[in-house]
Structure 1
Amino acid sequence: MLKLFMLLVSMFISLPSNGGSETTLTTATIRASTSAKPTVIYRRIYNERNNTIHSKNIIHNARRIKILGGPTLWDWDIWCQLQPKKGNCTENVLKYYYNADLDQCLTFEYTGCQGNLNKFHTQAECEGRCKGASLMMIRESAPITYCSLQVNAGYCLGLLRRYYYDVNEATCKEFTYGGCGGNQNNFETMRKCSRECQTNFE
């Protein structure tokens, strides 16, 4: 199978006054190892003012685009791929989290403490921050521990036994990995997962 990887570029774009002052544009491209040119497969724009995803036609005006620092990763592309963390308190509050596997925002029960940034009051807020984040590859240098990332089977169709760390149950679990793509919460053995995550996570 073709080996795939992501090229990420973060940009700022100034919108007209009726669309908000500033928003962050992230463009993901996916490239096959046999292809000289990457193909753009998704563009998403988050508008801080009204929590909507704007049409990619907005970016056609190149004069509005200012590239900031090359292939950097927008922080929300990392935070949206965190596992929803319930916490250990006594409340029972319905929140939304981004499911990177489904590219959808779903509900979970939050106990009121020890959560993370993949936690939203409304579905619209969740989708505004995170829709499309599943296409963004997390780099090893990302400023969060990879043990807290959602399980990701990858793009290919293999049937490989792997292990990931579950932040809510504080243990490593088995999953089936396709063989390419995915993220760093992916270990070949239960022992390696436990050593990396159960020992060092908290």
Structure 2
Amino acid sequence: RQPDDSLRYAMKWDGEWHITYEVFRDLGIAFAAVLVLIYVLVVGWFQSFLTPLIIMAAIPFSLVGILPAHGLLNAFFTATSMIGFIAGAGIVVRNSIILVDFIELRLKEGMPLDRAVIDAGAVRFRPMLLTAAAVVVGSAVILFDPIFQGLAVALMAGEIASLALSRVTVPIVYYMANKHLATKHEGTDL
């Protein structure tokens, strides 16, 4: 707010902090909206309300890499870091969709669930690895830029962590969820 009299000076102590708060608040709202949109789109694609939750379960795994990497590199978690987390979430969802789609394709071919899950983790690892490598190499260019360092750290560390963790956990969660449903349906048929 401006002073009432132009001859009197005023100082606002919370100016920069307030801007930072608003930026993170707005990015958090944008991230929540993106999560809802991703969920709706994946529900439409897979015709299931459970499958998108399995796919989106891999998103927090990128934080396992992002937060420690910021600490190790002595980099601040800035607004560009948050943008990197949001962008990385899209890549993580894409990798999870690759796994789940492969599992469901194998199931339609008549393969047992346990074998389809194992094949998905093995066969679809190369596209996931190539995507992560492209992100890491592409982000390395801006790693030492003072403004975009947070973006680079978030993208690189998030992709490395989510690649390692989502490759294992998404197929396992899919197996557990669908094995449980298959058991439930077998019990109702009796």
| TM-score band, normalised by shorter chain | under 0.3
User: Scaled by the length of structure 2, what TM-score is found?
Assistant: 0.26
Structure ranking higher in helix proportion: 2
User: Scaled by the length of structure 1, what TM-score is found?
Assistant: 0.25
Question: Which protein shows a greater Rg?
Answer: 2
Structure ranking higher in strand proportion: 1
RCO (CA 8 Å, sep 6+): is it higher in 1 or 2? Answer: 2
